[in-house]
Amino acid sequence: MTRLLPERAAHRVGAVAAAVLALALAGCADMGAIPANPALQTAETLGLATPAAAVSAVPAAPALDSQWWLAFGDPQLDALVAQAVEGNPNLQIARARLARAQASVSIAQAADKPQVNGSLDLTRQKFSENYIYPAPLGGSVQETGTLQLGASWELDFFGKNRTALEAALGTANAAAAEADAARVMLSGNVARGYVQWARLNDRLVVAERALAQREELLRLVRDRVSAGLDTRLQLKQSESSVPEARQQIEALQEQIEIARHALDALVAKPNATQSLAPPRLEKLKAMALQQTIPADLLGRRADIAAARWRVEAATSDVANAKTQFYPNVNLVAFAGLQSIGFDNLLKSSSQMWGVGPAIRLPIFEGGKLRANLRGKSADLDAAIESYNATVFDAVREVADQLSSVQSVARQQVQQREAQAAAEAAYDIGLQRYSAGLGNYLDVLTAEVTVLAQRRDGVDLAARALESQVGLARALGGGWQPPDSIHAAATPAARQP
């Protein structure tokens, strides 16, 4: 007994020495010479940050409501957006991707917990006469069985499992933000499509009014020809204008059907617009939106948040790639039954067990780990530049939409004045022609101008609403990060 104690002590010293050697070798892991990653764009670098001294003097802009389309005051539009959010296939795909990313988080969490497995192996085999088994076992045919319960627990000394979990959380949070970005885009597309439908309906009203106007003018020309005041040339000119107006009406009706089909596709419900009343632009209220780029724009948009979470996930992937250079330390244990002959398997004398640590250390792997680290670092570079590109596009988009909102408002003022003048000129020209004081060419010229102004008025009214829709979407569509994202993980403050 006294001789066994020094032997056990020697085994323990050897195990400790092996562990120390493993850590020493791990310290020699070469992770240098990886290029530094580019920097993330911030509100300050983009010139969006409000100076601290001015913050208290300038009231904060009101946050955009997440159901911003309600401001248009059209229940039909509200119902269409609700149907689209519920059943659009592209939005369902985004939600499925989110569910897949969330499952990956659960997988990463499981890696840090003890693992227990059971196994049962039953084999009938012939043992070699020329192997390690002597007769009578060697050369015989025997039945062997193993019933075993095994357990292992990886001790995450170097953060391998932690960084893998952080990467999975970043990916899941990015998927959640991308699903929200898809919802914001979908609601914007439905609102835009609805405005287009209303524009075409108003254009149809203008075209029908033009047809009635031309039919009335045709009757006037016929009366003047009958009275010998005009020639058949004016009559033919007037007659040709009526079919042209009818053709424009038919073309508009075709466009209306196509616009309705597009809305049906967005809400994923055939004939969803069939039972709806044709919308009119004048019944859609204007939205009240801020007229400057907000300093907190980067926190208002789901697509920017998603790109930022992709950077966080890629940063964690780089950290995880570095942990691959260090040892894996596992606690392994097993217990069970093992026997030759099935009838002996469940006997107490067939018991066997084992327990101990397991250390695995990469010493020479042909550069695979460094190549993996370079690849993950390149992925991080791509994620950062993708984030920067998303930020630049967002700032440009908001600036463009603000310019459009302001410009269209000014154009509408000028267009109303031009249309009023054109309507007055047409009325005067028609009165002069009826009284025999003017010619038919003056009437046609005035009519072309007034019809063009009516169409421009409709188009500008639609553009005003569309630019409001575009600005609402560019400002983030009222998006706010869900509480579940903050609970899952917080973006690291470190610069990658």
For 92, 175, 287, the CA distances from 182, given in Å and listed in that order, are 10, 10, 22
Please give the chain's pLDDT, 496 residues, in tens.
444 334 444 454 455 455 555 554 544 456 665 666 788 887 777 777 554 333 333 344 456 888 999 999 999 999 999 999 998 898 899 999 989 999 989 988 888 889 999 999 999 999 998 988 888 888 899 999 999 999 998 888 888 889 999 999 999 999 999 999 999 999 999 999 999 999 999 999 999 988 887 787 778 778 777 767 666 777 777 777 788 889 999 999 999 999 999 999 999 998 889 999 999 999 999 888 877 888 778 888 999 999 999 999 999 999 999 998 999 888 999 899 999 888 888 888 889 999 988 888 888 888 888 899 999 999 999 999 999 999 999 999 999 999 999 999 999 999 999 999 998 988 888 888 777 777 766 777 788 888 889 999 999 999 999 999 999 999 999 898 776 554 444 444 333 3
Q: Please choose, from the candidates 126, 46, 472, the residue with its C-alpha nearest in 3D space to the C-alpha of residue 298.
A: 46
Q: Please choose, from the candidates 336, 338, 334, the residue with its C-alpha nearest in 3D space to the C-alpha of residue 143.
A: 338
Q: Which helix (H) or strand (E) holds 234?
A: helix 232-266
Residue 257 CA to its chain's centroid (Å) = 30
Rounded distance between C-alpha atoms, residue 342 and residue 328, angstroms: 37
Query: Domains in the chain and their CATH numbers?
Result: 28-51+58-112+156-326+361-488 (1.20.1600.10), 113-155+329-360 (2.20.200.10)
133, 136, 140, 141: CA torsion to nearest 10: -90
DSSP string covering 64-115: PPTTGGGGG--HHHHHHHHHHHHH-HHHHHHHHHHHHHHHHHHHHHHTTS-E
Q: Please choose, from the candidates 256, 161, 277, the residue with its C-alpha nearest in 3D space to the C-alpha of residue 200.
A: 256
For 22, 174, 313, 478, the CA distances from 370, given in Å and listed in that order, are 19, 27, 19, 44
Token pair 């009578």 in the structure block, residue: 136
- Preceding peptide of 134 cis, ω within 30°: no
